[in-house]
């Protein structure tokens, strides 16, 4: 983990997603975790016009990746859309 500050200009329609480590550490019945790269791919596939639908689609994809395996950690996903 690297500490730092980075400024990013956001425009109308941009989205920011916040999540707990339990999201990218999700795994099926194997030691393979979702990881940050797969999380980005999963999020890009799940994007919908409505933010709530996007979050629901991301969680559905996450559940499919886990193949019914119980979560080992908290799983929290929050999305913010700039007006």
Mean pLDDT of 39-60: 91
pTM over 0.85: no
End-to-end CA distance of the chain: 31
Q: What is the pLDDT of residue 1?
A: 65
What's the pLDDT score for residue 56? 94
Q: Tell me what the mean pLDDT of segment 33-41 comes to.
A: 88
In a 10 Å sphere around its CB, with 0-12 CB exposed, 13-18 middle and 19+ buried, how is residue 1 labelled?
exposed
């Amino acid at each position: 983990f690297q500490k730092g500050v980075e400024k990013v200009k956001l425009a109308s329609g941009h989205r920011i997603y916040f999540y707990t480590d339990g999201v990218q550490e999700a795994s099926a019945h194997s030691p393979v975790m979702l990881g940050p790269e797969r999380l980005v791919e999963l999020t890009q596939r799940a994007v919908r016009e409505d933010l709530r639908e996007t979050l629901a689609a991301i969680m559905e994809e996450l559940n499919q990746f886990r193949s019914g395996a119980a979560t080992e950690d908290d799983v929290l996903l929050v999305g913010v859309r700039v007006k």
